[in-house]
């Protein structure tokens, strides 16, 4: 009998010890008899997996192979294209390498797909080969098309969403557990995480439901959905957050954990009754995104040294100030990550505990049972702490206890809502703390804001008049050979067409010197304290922002948006 002819693919498979010669001969005979490709025959007969075949084909044409089952996909890369394009060409960006976009492709010879990817992303493409199933799984995990959202909405059954007021608790629970509603909620959460949103707002109006994401501190309207889905949507979120689904007259709070892609995400849920129904807000607490390096947060070398020296003392008070959403909690955790050692007892009291850090004793405030900040502090001080972190000073009692704790040999880190660093001192005096105690206990005050980073892929050189630059605070002598950038109108796919991607902190760090202590004891105004610390070299929030403009990190418009 004549021996079957073995082609190049067969020889490669034999060389890699993926099949035996008998298996190859058997497959070649079937290939000749049926006309099916040799690779398909081997896979159909269980002699070879699709991944093994793809890796050999990649080697044959000189292109790398990516096993997406184990590859750590970069979500920022994956979401650069939409799901429709990805499925049409069976491609998906998975990483960045040497300034190029690494793209997994089922067919790396598809020049049309490569051209579409270059045009859509504005980047050079480095193709790698992956199996169709693996690419489909990555697309399903990281990308959702508008068609999928619409499909989920269409699937929502009308019978579970009519006459909200007439539903009892059991009916509302059933509405929240309907498969289309579950799918829709999962898509919203997954999409928000992939877009790096910090909050999701679900807002009912008279005729529809608006869904908005807060991305880099700015709200973006994503879509409007039919009003009929609102009861089921609210019920689903309440079930997940273990809230009372029958109570629609009072605000409620809850939280839950879900898995999106390759990571667990904590979500804090709040409901608020409005005239058109309950508004739901989801705060996304991504554990993996908790930055624990003060340098990465954007603090310049000088202010960083002052702040670090302050909180590494054995006792005293460090206050972090700023409005809600300015990154105070992240700064506090960045400091705690440096202080968190085996030989120290660190206790925190927070409302809520947003991030759980190994090695800390974290206390969740519960006002319903009387566990307030002040009550927690009284108990904490009987538990032999070295370092105490107070999530927020809200009243006179907790302010006094924080200061007294510092004076009795503890390092206290706390937050306060003020507009700048000097105002923190006068705010505590207004809360009833004696000025001489503040002067003795407070070591430093950090005021901060979060500004959006310019997209490095599409930022443009700005053409500002010299008079304008001087007006906002620049010295023209300092701008020689410096390029000022601005956000490109319409942006690019990398920044979701906003011109910005990510955020960076703006800081002012005020250390309490002897001269400042005298002003505090004399109950000086915040303006007087601020003037003195600036004379001593403190950079204000605006000056720190303008320094980051000089470095090309952000724009003048963004600094002026977040700083007065």
Considering only CA atoms, which of 446, 475, 247, 267 is closest in space to residue 352? 267
* Confidence label for 429 from pLDDT (cuts 50, 70 and 90): very high
| Burial (CB count within 10 angstroms: exposed 0-12, middle 13-18, buried 19+), residue 13 | buried
How many CB atoms within 10 Å of residue 280?
A: 25
* Confidence label for 292 from pLDDT (cuts 50, 70 and 90): low
Task: Return the percentage of the chain with pLDDT > 70, whole number.
Answer: 86
Structure-derived torsion over alpha carbons of residues 301, 304, 306, 307, reported in degrees to the nearest 10: 180
Q: DSSP readout, 374-437? A: HHHHHHHTTS--SEEEES---SHHHHHHHHHHHHTT-EEEEEE--SSHHHHHHHHHHTT--HHH
Average pLDDT over residues 118-129: 85
What pTM did the predictor assign?
0.74
What's the whole-number average pLDDT of the chain? 84
Q: Tell me: pLDDT of 393 over 80.
A: yes
Least confident segment among 295-299, 340-344, 518-522: 295-299
Contact, 126 vs 101, CB < 8 A?
A: yes
CA distance 24 to 18: 10
Residue 456's φ and ψ, nearest 5 degrees, are -75, -15
User: What's residue 1's pLDDT?
Assistant: 39
Tell me which of 202 and 495 has the higher pLDDT: 202
User: What's residue 320's pLDDT?
Assistant: 96
Residue 325's φ and ψ, nearest 5 degrees, are 80, 15
Tell me which of 499 and 143 has the higher pLDDT: 499
Structure-derived torsion over alpha carbons of residues 469, 475, 476, 478, reported in degrees to the nearest 10: -120
Task: Return the percentage of the chain with pLDDT > 90, whole number.
Answer: 36
Considering only CA atoms, which of 68, 72, 59 is closest in space to residue 18? 59
Q: Is the peptide bond before 439 cis (omega within 30 degrees of 0)?
A: no
Q: DSSP readout, 509-558? A: EEE--HHHHHHHHTT--HHHHHHHHHHTTPPPHHHHHHHHHHTTSS-HHH
The pLDDT tens digits of the residues spanning 436-477 come to 999 999 999 999 999 999 998 889 999 888 888 888 888 877
Tell me which of 239 and 42 has the higher pLDDT: 239
Least confident segment among 153-162, 238-247, 343-352: 153-162
How many CB atoms within 10 Å of residue 96?
A: 15
Considering only CA atoms, which of 476, 499, 490, 496 is closest in space to residue 550? 476
Average pLDDT over residues 358-368: 87
Contacts 24+ apart (CB under 8 A), 426-435: 426/525, 426/526, 426/529, 428/393, 428/399, 428/403, 429/520, 429/523, 431/393, 431/395, 431/396, 431/399, 432/396, 432/399, 432/400, 433/396, 433/399, 433/400, 433/403, 435/520, 435/521, 435/522, 435/523
| Burial (CB count within 10 angstroms: exposed 0-12, middle 13-18, buried 19+), residue 148 | middle
- Mention every residue, 6+ apart, whose C-beta is less than 8 A from residue 159: none
* Confidence label for 246 from pLDDT (cuts 50, 70 and 90): confident
Per residue, what are the HEC states of 3-37?
CCCCCHHHHHHHHCCCCCHHHHHHHHHHHHHHCCC
Average pLDDT over residues 357-374: 86
User: What's residue 354's pLDDT?
Assistant: 77
Q: Tell me: pLDDT of 262 over 70.
A: no
User: What's residue 149's pLDDT?
Assistant: 59
DSSP 3-state of 162: coil
Positive or negative: CA dihedral 520, 524, 526, 527: negative
Q: Which residue has the tokens 């003392």?
A: 313
* Confidence label for 259 from pLDDT (cuts 50, 70 and 90): confident
Least confident segment among 89-93, 131-135, 412-416: 131-135
User: How many Cα atoms within 13 Å fall on the side-chain side of residue 299?
Assistant: 25
The pLDDT tens digits of the residues spanning 179-201 come to 788 888 888 888 888 888 899 99
Contact, 423 vs 533, CB < 8 A?
A: no
CA distance 476 to 467: 9
Q: Tell me: pLDDT of 163 over 60.
A: no
* Confidence label for 60 from pLDDT (cuts 50, 70 and 90): low
User: What's residue 5's pLDDT?
Assistant: 46
* Confidence label for 544 from pLDDT (cuts 50, 70 and 90): very high
Q: Which residue has the tokens 């999928």?
A: 148
């Amino acid at each position: 009998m004549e021996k079957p002819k073995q082609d190049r693919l067969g020889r490669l498979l034999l060389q890699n010890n993926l099949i035996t010669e008998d298996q190859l001969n058997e497959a070649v005979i079937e290939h000749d008899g049926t006309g099916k490709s040799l690779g398909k025959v081997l896979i159909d007969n269980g002699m070879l997996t699709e991944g093994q075949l793809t890796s050999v084909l990649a080697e044959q044409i000189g292109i790398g192979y990516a096993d997406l089952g184990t590859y750590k996909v970069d979500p920022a890369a994956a979401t650069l294209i939409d799901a429709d394009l990805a499925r049409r060409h069976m491609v998906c960006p998975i990483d960045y390498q040497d300034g190029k976009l690494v793209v997994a492709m089922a067919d790396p010879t598809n020049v049309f797909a490569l051209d579409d990817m270059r045009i859509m992303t504005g980047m050079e493409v480095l193709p790698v080969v992956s199996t169709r199933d693996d690419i489909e799984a990555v697309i399903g995990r990281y990308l959702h098309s508008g068609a999928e959202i619409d499909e989920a909405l269409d699937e929502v059954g009308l019978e579970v969403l009519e006459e909200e007021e007439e539903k009892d608790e059991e009916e509302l629970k059933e509405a929240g557990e309907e498969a289309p509603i579950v799918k829709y909620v999962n898509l919203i959460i997954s999409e928000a995480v992939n877009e790096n949103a910090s909050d999701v707002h679900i807002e009912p109006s008279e005729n529809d439901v608006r869904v908005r994401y807060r991305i880099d501190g700015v709200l973006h309207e994503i879509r409007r959905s039919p009003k009929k889905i609102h009861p089921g949507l609210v019920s689903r979120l309440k079930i997940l957050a273990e809230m009372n689904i029958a109570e629609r007259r009072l605000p409620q709070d809850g939280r839950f954990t879900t898995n999106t892609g390759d990571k667990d995400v904590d979500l804090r849920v709040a409901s608020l009754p409005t005239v058109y129904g309950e508004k739901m807000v989801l705060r996304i607490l991504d554990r993996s995104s908790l930055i624990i390096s003060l340098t990465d947060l954007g603090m310049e070398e000088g202010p960083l040294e002052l702040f670090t020296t302050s909180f590494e003392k054995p006792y005293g008070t460090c206050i972090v100030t700023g409005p809600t959403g300015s990154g105070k909690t992240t700064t506090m955790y960045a400091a705690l990550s440096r202080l968190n050692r085996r030989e120290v007892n660190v206790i925190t009291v927070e409302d809520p505990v947003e991030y759980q850090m190994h090695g800390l004793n974290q206390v969740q405030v519960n006002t319903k049972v009387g566990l307030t900040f002040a009550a927690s502090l009284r108990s904490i001080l009987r538990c032999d702490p070295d370092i105490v972190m107070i999530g927020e000073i809200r009243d006179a009692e907790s302010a006094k206890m924080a200061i007294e704790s510092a004076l009795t040999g503890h390092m206290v880190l706390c937050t306060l809502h003020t507009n700048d660093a000097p105002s923190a001192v006068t705010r505590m005096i207004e809360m009833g703390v004696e000025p001489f105690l503040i002067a003795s206990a407070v070591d430093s005050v950090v005021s901060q804001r979060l500004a959006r980073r310019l997209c490095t892929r599409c930022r443009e050189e700005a053409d500002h008049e010299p008079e304008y630059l001087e007006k906002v605070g620049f010295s023209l002598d300092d701008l020689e050979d410096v390029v000022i950038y601005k956000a490109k109108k319409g942006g690019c796919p990398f920044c979701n067409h906003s011109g910005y991607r990510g955020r960076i902190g703006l800081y002012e760090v005020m250390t309490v010197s002897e001269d400042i202590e005298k002003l505090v004891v004399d109950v000086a105004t915040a303006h007087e304290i601020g003037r003195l610390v600036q004379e001593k070299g403190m950079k204000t929030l605006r000056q720190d922002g303008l320094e980051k403009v000089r470095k090309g990190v952000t724009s003048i418009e963004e600094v002026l948006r977040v700083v007065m």
